[in-house]
Copies of this chain bind each other. A is one copy, B any other.
Amino acid sequence: MNRVAVVGAGMSRFGTRRLPATSLFAEAFREAQGSVDRGFDPSAIEAAWIGSLGFGGGQIGNAASLLASEIGAPGIPAERVENACASSGFAFRDAYLAIASGAADVALAGGVEVMNDLEPVHQRFWLGVSGDTLWERLAGATFPGVYALLAGLHMHEFGTTREQLASVAVKNHANGARNPKAQFQKEVPLERVLASPMVASPLSVFDCCSTTDGASAVILASERTARAYTDTPVWIEASAAATDALALHDRRSFTSLEATARAGAQAFARAGLRPDDVDVAEVHDCFTIAEILAVEDLGFVPKGKGGAWSDAGRSSIQGDVAVNPSGGLKAKGHPLGATGTAQVEEIFLQLRGEAGARQRSGAEVGLAHNVGGSGATCTVHLFRRG
């Protein structure tokens, strides 16, 4: 397989934007373009993969060609990927495979979602479609409800506390306060998290990510091309993906997302790396419990210990592993299909030492972990500073 690098990455400002998907995606692409050290002409893009749940911005189907035209790359092969909230993690993987195969030297991966143009009742419908329809959605289970079940069992089995869950929110909001593109850029004290209104016990408002408009874009290049763009490429050391049963009742465990565990183990094996080699990780914290499951399932901390580990500050920016220095889905925001490649953008910045006030010092190895639904789809990518 040919080696593949990330040579540019960008994201739109995340938040309540209410712009067409085309405009948001173009904003993200311009940022990515601007990040390429020696400049980047969109005509160099040979193919694009773009993740989206697809319900925002007006163009619901066949949007890939529209997005390609919008960024100045009309006519290229462009494809929409939909794997719920892991859509752009999978889009990134497709772009990686295209370059690894030798079919392309330069490819684009990205994602976009407009959520705030929908009425709340439609948001609930569309969000719900990423979980199991037959057994969960039609029975009224929303994502906060589903993750609350996982949180409740984790508390029961391992003694995880609400304060430990809340510590994830406190950390990620503190990180988001240092990210000028985050949806929420304000620190939130523990007391406020604990006192926030209950959504689905034990998850309160500050345990849940938000409704976000946004886009992200990443430029990938082959080894022979990367040096034409930059002296500091970020190498993709491994790409792995997995799925799990869509419905919770078909799974073997409720205190582990097995797709994460499998994709993570494969990624580490392919890269010849171990969890303690990782300096910085963007993991899929759609709820505080989701970050705790992720750091356990990825092997940063033994199963059941994630809550105490977070509460002890071990996942802070200068902790054992900087987990979600961007603010994560929790504070940076979660525009579904845009999240996977936004995670890659943060890792790109961190490994190049360009993450400003939220920089993990000396970061050499990074990980991006993107989950779809309640864990039915997952990608894990490992990166190393070039």
Residues of A within 8 A of B (CB): 1-2, 47, 53-54, 58-66, 68-69, 74-84, 90, 93-94, 97-98, 100-103, 126, 129-134, 239-246, 250, 258-259, 262-263, 372-373, 376-377, 379
In the bound complex, CA of A60 to CA of B53 (Å): 10
Partner of A62, one of B58, B61, B84, B93: B84
Q: Which of B60, B130, B241, B246 contacts A69 (CB 8 A)?
A: B246
Q: Which listed residue (B61, B102, B376) contacts A130, Cβ 8 A?
A: B61
Residues of chain B with a CB closer than 8 A to A241's CB: 47, 77, 79
Complex contact A101–B69 (CB within 8 A): no
B60 touches A129 (CB 8 A): yes
User: Could you say how many copies of this chain the assembly holds?
Assistant: 2
Please, which residue of chain B has its CB at the minimum distance from the CB of A102? B1
Contacts of A65 in B (CB 8 A): 243-246, 259, 372-373, 376-377
Q: Given A62-B372, A68-B243, A97-B101, are A80 and B79 also a contact pair (CB < 8 Å)?
A: no
6 other contacts beyond A59-B129, A62-B82, A97-B98, with CB at 8 A cut-off? A61-B130, A79-B81, A81-B82, A97-B97, A98-B101, A101-B102
Q: Quick one: which of A84, A94, A240, A246 has the most chain B CB within 10 A?
A: A246
Closest to A47 in B: B241
How far apart sit A82 and B132, CA to CA, in the bound complex (Å)?
19
Given A61-B84, A83-B64, A100-B103, the answer on whether A77 and B243 have CB atoms closer than 8 Å is yes
Residue pairs across A and B with Cβ atoms less than 8 A apart, 17 shown, are A1-B102, A47-B241, A59-B246, A60-B129, A61-B129, A62-B83, A62-B377, A63-B246, A65-B243, A66-B132, A68-B243, A74-B244, A75-B259, A75-B262, A77-B243, A81-B81, A97-B98
**Complex contact A78–B133 (CB within 8 A):** no
Contacts of A246 in B (CB 8 A): 59, 62-63, 65-66, 69
A103→B126 CA distance, assembly (Å)? 33
The answer to whether A134 and B64 touch (CB under 8 A), given A100-B103, A262-B75, is no
Q: Find chain B residues with CB under 8 A from A377 CB.
A: 62, 64-65, 78-79
Chain B proximity of A105: nearest CB distance (Å): 13
Residues B69 and A131 in contact, CB atoms below 8 Å apart: no
Compute how far the CA of A129 lies from the CA of B52 in the bound complex, rounded to whole angstroms.
15
Q: Report Cα–Cα, A74/B132, bound state, in Å.
A: 15
Q: Do A134 and B58 touch (CB < 8 A)? A: yes
A12: min CB distance to chain B, Å: 20
Give Cα distance in the complex from A90 to B49, angstroms. Answer: 10
Q: Judging by beta carbons under 8 Å apart, are B78 and A80 in contact?
A: no
A55 CB to closest chain B CB (Å) equals: 9
Inter-chain contacts of A63 with B (CB < 8 A): 246
Kindly provide the distance from the CB of A53 to the nearest chain B CB, expressed in whole angstroms: 6
Complex CA distance for A243 and B75, rounded to whole angstroms? 4
Contacts of A80 in B (CB 8 A): 81-83
The reply to whether B258 and A75 contact each other, CB–CB distance below 8 Å, is yes
Most B C-beta atoms less than 10 A away, residue of A240, A262, A372: A372
Complex Cα distance, B93 from A44, in Å, reads 20
Give CA–CA (A101, B373) in the complex, Å: 28
